[in-house]
Amino acid sequence: MFDKSLLENNLGNNMYDNGLMIGHFEPLHLGQMRSILDAAGQAKSLHIIITAHPSPHPDFTITLQDKARWLQMACADLPFIHIHTTHEIELPLHDSFDDVTIDIPASNAKLQRVIEALDLPVEAVLFVADNHPLAQSDIHEQLLMTVVTTPLQPEFDSYAIACDPIAHWSAIHPQARGDYTKTVAIVGGESSGKTTLVHKLANYYGASFALEMGRLYVGTDLGGSEIGLQYSDYGPIALDHAQAIRDATAVATAPITIVDTDFVTTQAFCEEYEGRTHPFVTASIDEFRLDHTIMLDNNTPWVDDGMRSLGDPDARGRFEQRLIDIFARHDIAPYLIDEPDYDARYQQALRFIDQYIYGKNIPKS
C-alpha cells in the first residue's frame, strides 16, 4: 500500500496524473458537468465511470450507452477526459448524505475493481463533492484511493433533477435534453389546421419542431406540384421526416418537441394515391415511434392551397378513416380533438400537453 499522506503532501500543486469520478449521471446536468470540469483541471487524465441508475424514472428509457453518448459529446474536445460504463458497480440512491453510512470494505472492493478494469495506478485519486461522506477524514483515510473534493454546486440537486427532469429542464445538459423531450405529432386530413397548430404550440412552449416533409419534398424534388409524385417517393419522404425529427429533438428547447404530421400520415397518402402500403414507411412507423399523437378531426372548412386534392366530404371522411385504420394496425392510440373551432382546438391541445407531458393537474371543464 502506498503512503497516502506522502502523496497528498507531494501534490500540493493540485495536478494529479490520474483522476476518477463515478456516478449515475441520469440525467447529466450542468452541476455535474461543472464538477467534472473542476476535477479535469486538477488531473492530467480524468476517468469517468457511468453506472446504472438503481431507480430509473418510469417516463424515460435511458441506457448506459445513452449516458455515455451525452458525456462523450459534451467532452468531445477535452481529450484528457475518458468515459467508461459498467453494470458491475452499484451506487446507492439518496436524497441527502446526512444519514448515509459508508461500508469501507465494500467501497474499497468497488474501487479495486475499477482500478483493475481501467488498469489505473494505485496513486489515482477519487474526486467527490465537498459534502460527500467519502470526503470525511475518518473515512477517506481508510480508503484504497486518495479522495479529492470538488466544490459544491448547491443550485443543482441531483436527486430532485432525477425525480422530475421536466421541472428541472433548464438544469439538464443540452447533450441530454434530446432524451428527455417528448415528441408530439399533430396529424389529420388536409386543411384540418395541423401546421397552424404546430406553430402556435411551438411558440407557446418555446419548443423546437419538425415540419411536414411531404409538402417540403414536393417543393424541393417535384417542382412544387404533386403531379410527379409516385410510389418511390414515399421512402425518401419518410427518411427526410425521420431526420427532421432527429434534428429537432437534438436541439430540443423544451420538454416537448412538436412534429407536423407523422409516418402514419405518409402511409395514408401512399395508400390513397398508390393503392398499396409502403414497407419502408411501415418500418418507419414502428422504428421511429413518437411519444404522443394528437389527431385533428376533419370537420373544419376545406381551403384549396393549390396542393390539396381531398376536399370533398367523401374524400375527407375516407382519408380520416384510413388514418384511424393505420393507427390501429400499429397499436397507436391518438388523442382526438374534434372541436370545429380553431381556437378551441388549440386550447384542447394545450390541456392535453400540460397534463400528459408537464404533469399539471387540469380541472375538468
| pTM to 2 decimal places | 0.87
What CATH number belongs to 181-356?
A: 3.40.50.300
> What is the reported pLDDT for 97?
61
Beta-strand relationship, 209-210 and 256-260: parallel
| Domain 4-165 shares a fold with domain 181-356 | yes
What count of Cα atoms within 13 Å lies in the side-chain half-sphere of residue 275?
0
DSSP assignment of 26-57 equals TT-BHHHHHHHHHHHTTEEEEEEEEE--SS--
Rounded distance between C-alpha atoms, residue 313 and residue 159, angstroms: 54
Bridge partners, residue 147, by sequence:
126
> What is the reported pLDDT for 9?
37
Provide the residue ranges of all domains of the chain, joining segments of one domain with +. Answer: 4-165, 181-356
> What is the reported pLDDT for 196?
92
> What is the reported pLDDT for 300?
62
Rounded distance between C-alpha atoms, residue 203 and residue 218, angstroms: 26
What CATH number belongs to 4-165?
A: 3.40.50.620
Average pLDDT of adjacent 10-residue blocks, the chain of 365 residues: 39 76 96 97 95 93 97 97 90 65 81 86 88 76 86 93 96 98 92 89 98 91 89 96 97 98 95 95 96 88 54 78 96 94 94 94 60
Rounded distance between C-alpha atoms, residue 24 and residue 46, angstroms: 16
DSSP-derived secondary structure letter, 172: B
> What is the reported pLDDT for 193?
83
Residue that the C-alpha cell 370545429 belongs to: 340
DSSP-derived secondary structure letter, 360: -
Rounded distance between C-alpha atoms, residue 40 and residue 148, angstroms: 12
> What is the reported pLDDT for 29?
98
> What is the reported pLDDT for 28?
98
> What is the reported pLDDT for 2?
38
3-class DSSP assignment, residue 297: coil
Residue that the C-alpha cell 372541436 belongs to: 339
